[in-house]
Structure 1
Amino acid sequence: MKVSFKAFMREIIDYAGLFPPADLSLDTSLQKFSNYRKNEDSWMLSRYIIPAGRLAELKPYGETLFAEGEPFAFSILGKRTETISDYKEHLQNIVSSLEQFHANHGDRVTTDVMEIKLPREAVFANDADLLVDLYEETARRFGDVAEFPDDIFFEGIFDKNWEKEIGVVLESMNHYNNNTSSDNGIKAGFKLRCGGVEASMVPSIEQVAFTLNKVREQNLALKCTAGLHHPIRHYDHSVKTKMHGFFNVFGGAMLGYAHDFSTEQMIEVLKEEDTEHFSFTDSGFRWKEYEVSTEDIEELREVALISFGSCSFDEPREDLQKLGLL
């Protein structure tokens, strides 16, 4: 196994078995996650994604699954809200759920990441000051929890004015991270939705390219979700559209940092469907003539390109085996 491949894939997959298209029951998905933690490929596995509203359902597992091995790592998922007032009310509900969750399970669980959709009202207002206030209040609320998340990943919306709206969201995150008066150290990152169960849910190559470059420009951490079950861009017959690949998205982002890619260059990486144009060596990851070093991959995965959620841990590994990488 090449060193750069190990660095690229280390703890990159957040398990989202609860969500479509897998849509597993809580018990089935938890049992699968527990078994994956014992698998020889567990080094690629990161957190279990769970909606905040379902944390109470985990209480019966405190003396069984959670008692085994390393603490269970969770990413806590907020729901979509329309208005800012609904969003703030939802925050308080999440805080209450988190406090009870940690009271029930103590150091057998961790919740270092929070994912939440920005309220539509805030996104469509195109008001950077309003968004900064929202990030600050979110961090303040979670800072009151004993085991508060280190990072909160805010998801935006791709609408008809997506370039302007996503731009304001990302620029305001940078402003918050660099000027926050919060003393809890919680940082804002961006959550990029890369797919879904319908073609309309898959962002265009242009939207993903713009976002990856803007995230880099604003020095933000990135977490992805949905649609990245396979390493290379491909046509999905069930969704009836082409889906993004995690080599394209994460590899493109890494190469963007290494070579200051333009949007046009990023688009070319995201469009790539030829597996022969991607390669790993001990020294780095390469797409065509562009390379990013293993050392840079390790650093980027630590601070900038965090993980992606997938409802399958098997499909990515099966593809990687076929490519001779596992």
Structure 2
Amino acid sequence: MLASIKTLFVSVVDYAGLFPPAKLDLEQAMANYAGYQSTAYAWMLGRFVLPASRLSKFTELLPKFPTQQQWKLSVILSQDIEPDIEKMRSLDKNNAIAVTSLEIPPLPPTEIKKVLSHLPEGVDSYFEIPFHSEIQAYIAVLQHTGASAKIRTGGVTVDAFPSISQLYECMLAFAKAPIPFKATAGLHHPLLGKHPLTNEPDSPVAEMHGFLNVALVAALIYQQKITPEEALEFLKESSPEALQITADSICWQNYQLKLVEIEQTRQKFFRSFGSCSFDQPIDDLKKLKLLS
């Protein structure tokens, strides 16, 4: 395993098996997550994404899945934020669970200000920012708060996918602020390409963003190493031959990311991406010979 790849992808996949297109029931999703923890690729596994409304059922089912590792949860809050946070606090005495992040649904910037004061300390918070919104208003309210952003990079319909320029402009705004971010939905494959959006036989097909494209462009933007024109081109990259990967660096054309820059970006800027599949990203990385 190359150190550069491990640094880029450590704890990168927040497992969202409850959500489309997988849309598993809670017990099956929990069984999957527990199983992933014992695989050779457990180092890529991030948090288990769980709506606050299902916390009670989650704790009820938990004894069925004993593991040596603590369950790291990313809890999605509803519009009733304060009661949801109280539900989360009720888990504090359960040593098998650690709520490490909260995900907040789209809110107007004025409402985000109110919510920030209620969030618990020591837990990452991700505020979802719609692509068709005035992003600078969100930047202004999140900047210097320690909170992070969440962007939706796809879905089960063609119109759920942002354009390449929208994706770039959003990441650029976050980097300038700077505000850390996570992505969710649609990032099942490493590189840009056309794929079915669901597992149904008649599924629509769309061009899906690649999580490798997003991770590396985020790093190049954050490290101030790339021009806007080249960033847009790299988000369109679909050929693995364009990359040169060694143990201590990843290169694309004339741009190089050193190991320390990749590590810094993951810690401070591009935090993770949510996926309803953990196997698919791994299988695709194996096909590219980036994992063995």
**Considering the TM-score relative to the shorter chain, is it more than 0.5?**
yes
Residues 237-276 of structure 1 aligned to structure 2 (within 5 Å): 237=196, 238-276=203-241
Q: 2:124 aligns with which of 140, 151, 174?
A: 151
Contact 2:187 2:211 in 1 (8 A): yes
Q: Which one of the candidate residues 249, 268, 281 is aligned to 1:303?
A: 268
Whether 2:48 is the aligned partner of 1:48: answer: yes
Q: Secondary structure at the match of 1:276?
A: helix
Equivalent residues in 2 for 1:123-202 (5 A)?
123=109, 130=110, 134-135=112-113, 137-143=114-120, 148-159=121-132, 162=133, 165-174=134-143, 176-177=144-145, 187-202=146-161
Q: Which amino acid aligns with 1:202?
A: F
Indicate the SS of the match to 2:117: helix
Deviation at 1:78, TM superposition (A): 2.1
In 2, the alpha carbon distance for the partners of 1:25 and 1:279 equals: 40
Q: Equivalent residue for 2:70?
A: 71
- CA-to-partner distance for each residue in 1:158-211, whole Å, 9 max, x for gaps? 22xx3xx1122123211x42xxxxxxxxx2111011000000000110110001
Structure 2 counterpart of 1:101, one-letter code: L
Query: Which residue number corresponds to residue 31 of structure 1?
Result: 31
Does structure 2 conserve the Cα–Cα contact (< 8 Å) formed by 1:228 and 1:245? yes
Instruction: Quote how far apart the aligned CAs of 1:249 are.
Output: 0.6
Whether contact under 8 Å (1:213, 1:262) holds in the other structure is no
1:309 CA drift (Å): 0.4
Contact 2:131–2:151 (CA<8 Å) still a contact in 1? no
254-263 or 232-241, which deviates more: 254-263
Structure 2 equivalent of residue 217 of structure 1 = 176
1:260 Cα deviation (Å)? 4.0
User: 2:54 is aligned with what amino acid?
Assistant: R
8 Å CA contact 2:10–2:43 kept in 1: the answer is yes
Measure, in 2, the Cα distance between the counterparts of 1:260 and 1:324: 26
Which letter does structure 1 place at the counterpart of 2:135?
Answer: I
| 1:99 aligned partner | 89
1:195-252 deviation per Cα after TM superposition (whole angstroms, max 9, x unaligned): 0000000011011000111110001111110011100000123342201001111111
Corresponding residue for residue 102 of structure 2? 114
- Structure 2: runs of 5 or more not aligned: 197-202
Return the offset for 1:32: 0.4
Cα distance in 2 between the residues matched to 1:35 and 1:57: 19
Q: Distance in 2 between matches of 1:270 and 1:25?
A: 34
Alignment TM-score, normalising by the size of structure 2: 0.92
Cα contact 1:278–1:285 (8 A) shared by 2: yes
For residues 272 and 23 of structure 2, the distance between their equivalents in structure 1, rounded to whole angstroms, comes to 20
Shift of 1:149: 5.0
Aligned residue pairs total 285
RMSD: 1.6
Cα separation, 1, equivalents of 2:98 and 2:115:
19
Identify if the C-alpha distance between structure 1 residues 258 and 96 changes in structure 2 by more than 3 Å, giving closer, same or farther: closer
* Percent of paired sites with the same residue: 31
Determine the C-alpha separation between the residues in 2 that align with 1:245 and 1:213: 17
Q: How far is the alpha carbon of 1:68 from its aligned partner?
A: 2.1
Amino acid aligned to 2:262: I
Equivalent residue of 2:126, what SS?
strand
Q: Is the 8 A contact 1:142 1:149 kept in 2?
A: no
Render the CA deviation track for 1:127-154: whole Å, top value 9, x for unaligned: xxx36xx33x3233233xxxx5521110
SS in 2 for 1:210: helix
Q: Distance in 2 between matches of 1:239 and 1:37?
A: 32
SS at match of 1:170: helix
What residue is the counterpart of 1:322 in the other structure? 287
